[in-house]
Amino acid sequence: MKTKATLLIMSLIAFGLFAFMPKTQVQEPWPVPDSYKNKANPLKGDAASVAEGKTLYNQHCKSCHGTKGKGDGPKASQLDTECGDFTKASFQSQTDGALYYKTAEGRKDMPSFKKKIPEANDIWSVINYMRTLK
């Protein structure tokens, strides 16, 4: 009888520890159509575009991705998937077209911004701003 009780207690402890572990999930690959991978950003990453991108980022992205793009915004802990960290080389090495596609289309917890940011050039400005988060 003691063994069953001990096993039950240990199982509950293990479950409790597992339930409160931080998310360490590796992001699934996010395929991007070739037509987007090779799409060039029509905007120069000049001060005006970066400033506009920062304003839009603060309005639409910061709550999940955080002030500095590290994926640590106040809503990040409420998501089922880990937010991307824009400061990582793996993020920064993606093409502007791939980032445009992901921002416009969304996936799982990441919403589509096609309607929230309907002007294509505004999304390109957000990308120009994200490029500064290194």
CB atoms within 10 A of CB 127: 24
34-130 belongs to CATH 1.10.760.10: yes
Which segments of the chain have a pLDDT < 50? 8, 12, 14-24
pTM for this entry: 0.79
Pinpoint the alpha helices (H) of 34-95: 34-37, 47-60, 62-65, 89-92
pLDDT at 20: 46
19-42 pLDDT, tens per residue?
444 444 556 899 999 999 999 999
pLDDT at 6: 55
Residue tagged 């709550």 (tokens)? 63
Closest CA to 32 of 117, 98, 116: 98
CA 15 to chain CA centroid, Å, is: 28
pLDDT at 26: 59
Residue type, 55: T
CA atoms within 13 A on the CB side of 73: 22
pLDDT at 24: 46
Q: What is the largest CA-CA distance in the chain?
A: 72
Closest CA to 42 of 134, 103, 122, 130: 122
pLDDT at 64: 96
pLDDT at 28: 83
Q: Where are the domains of the chain?
A: 34-130
pLDDT at 111: 94
